[in-house]
Amino acid sequence: MKLNFPTYELKLRIENNKHQVFDILRKKWVALLPEEWVRQHLIHFLKEEKNYPVGLMASEMYLPMNGMRKRTDLTVFNRKGEPILIAECKRPTVKIDQKTFDQIAGYNWELKVPYLILTNGLEHFCCTFDLETKEYSFSVEFPDYSQ
């Protein structure tokens, strides 16, 4: 499916009649589900267009939350190893709405990162979280890693 990202040459293969994509963060082949297609495009976009170091990004990082194990689709760290951005990737047929925002905002109560990204590959939302005021503000641009 064509997404609202630049075109990237992702490594694809079929193994046991199942489509797979190579995840450059986990350094392994993973099932090519619609949300994975979106995540891989976001990873490449952040790497190629916004200068995010691959070594400071993590796919599917586990997060303890209210006695449950949740996971962020993508987490980015600063050079001190502190999380600074989390992203939630949905399949293109899933509408980005308040429920989606509430999901990632809930993760952020645990992590307290300054940047959140929500995307279904077609629509992208980026917001900043002010750690002092606990307020979110939306931005039209994804931050460059240097910011």
Residue 50 has pLDDT above 90, yes or no: yes
Task: Please tell me the predicted confidence (pLDDT) of residue 64.
Answer: 67
Compute CA 103 distance to the chain's CA centroid, rounded to the nearest angstrom: 13
Task: Please tell me the predicted confidence (pLDDT) of residue 5.
Answer: 95
Shortest CA distance to 111 belongs to which of 143, 80, 142, 71?
A: 71
User: Which range, of 3-7, 87-91, 121-125, 138-142, averages the lowest pLDDT?
Assistant: 138-142
Strand 115-119 relative to strand 83-89, pairing = parallel
Task: Please tell me the predicted confidence (pLDDT) of residue 27.
Answer: 95
Residue % of the chain over a pLDDT of 90: 66
25 φψ region: left (φ > 0), alpha (ψ -120 to 50), beta (else): alpha
Residue 143 has pLDDT above 90, yes or no: no
Task: Please tell me the predicted confidence (pLDDT) of residue 70.
Answer: 78
Q: What is the mean pLDDT of residues 114-129?
A: 92
Q: What is the pTM of this model?
A: 0.91
Task: Please tell me the predicted confidence (pLDDT) of residue 71.
Answer: 86
Each residue's pLDDT tens digit, 73-114: 999 999 999 999 999 999 999 999 989 888 888 888 878 888
